[in-house]
Chains A and B, each alone.
Chain A
Amino acid sequence: MDKAAQTLSLAKLQAGDPHEFAHFVDQYSGSVYRLALKMVSEPQDAEDVLQETFLKAQRALPKFEGRSSLATWLYRIAVNEALMVLRKRRPDMISVEEPDPDAEEPDEPLQIIDWCCLPEAELLSNEFRQHLQAAMQQLSPALRAVFLLRDIEGLSIEETAQTLDVSQAVVKTRLLRARLKLREALSEYYKERLTERSQ
């Protein structure tokens, strides 16, 4: 994303040049929409997050100080917007500062099933994709955001930390927990498939 950002003129963006802002939107909107979709799950909510993110960016660009890259700055707005949507949906469940996703030690792996070599065709079934999505939604928003930024959008640990305004140590802890939880969920899925096959 930063490579793409180099072709943009920050001066023009900050001066409110609509064509430059249109380029900016085209460069980043796909990633922001994908992130939003994974964060909030519902396409309509994801579109709201997308629109609000760029509206806020449009208003705030003149004050952008360049302390982080444009990409991490934009992701930060997007994650905050997604958290707002989730909070509105479940005000009792979501707080800005998660009910301490970093307090516990990472869960120890429970499922020790080697499913690495199962056929790739399994990965393409609708049932499996639904399971992937469900497992993602089972993560707390704080863990989900870290996994999406680091492992799907490809941000570094440092950029992820900047985006979420937490330390790199916190990012690593959350990333480990998110990865392990998703691994457990997939192991459960494969365990059921293997059991079905052996019956």
Chain B
Amino acid sequence: MSKNRATADGGMATSYGFSSVGEGEKQGLVNDVFHKVAKRYDIMNDVMSGGMHRVWKDAMISVLNPPKTPGWRFIDVAGGTGDIAFRIVEASRKEALGTVLDINGSMLGVGQERAEKRGLASHLEFVEANAEELPFEDKSFDAYTIAFGIRNVPDIDKALREAHRVLKRGGRFLCLEFSEVQMPVLDKLYEAWSFNGIPKMGQAIAGDGEPYRYLVESIRKFPRQADFAAMIERAGFSRVNWTNYTGGVAALHSGWKL
């Protein structure tokens, strides 16, 4: 068991939260977490981020700035409930076409139902697949987005290489993820809230604190901003940078396929 952050040299594939797991074991464990929380996933994000995830996601969409003209395609990976994809389609004035990809059928079911209710179903397609093995041709998309998903992927380097492969030249990679708080005092408060507050809230809301413990620990394990940026560069992306939100509670990493 290790509470140290993984680095650009690896460590995420064999960690399930703070627990060490064997090669190939992580995916099944993560699947169980998301089957359990699918219906309450958005409420859970509100709880874990104090409602801030909405602000961060809106900021991500502003950075992406999807064109309001037809013919632009994006893929949102680990986006099952549709939260990011709906925002992108709406920001494009319903011109963008999107693929919502998730490895978890429960999450996709929630997203598909919501897309129909919101009248966005004709702009979106839902596909169950693995971020490490994308079922798309090279150069298929103008943008690749992933929000609060990459830390749950066992082989992050492979997923990043796949992101690069399916993007067109000039395509944009944007990743929103919990990160390392880089402000004194806030870091201590955040740590206390994460490890004491959130699993208790999960217990109260969802009746099960265990999935939330995984989510908190996996946040704490994820490589810090500069390390993750190095991984994105290694996958082939150019002009990689990041923006911290709320003192680094979350960070938006950006890269281009040039």
Binding between chains A and B: no
B residues with CB within 8 A of A:
none
A residues with CB within 8 A of B:
none
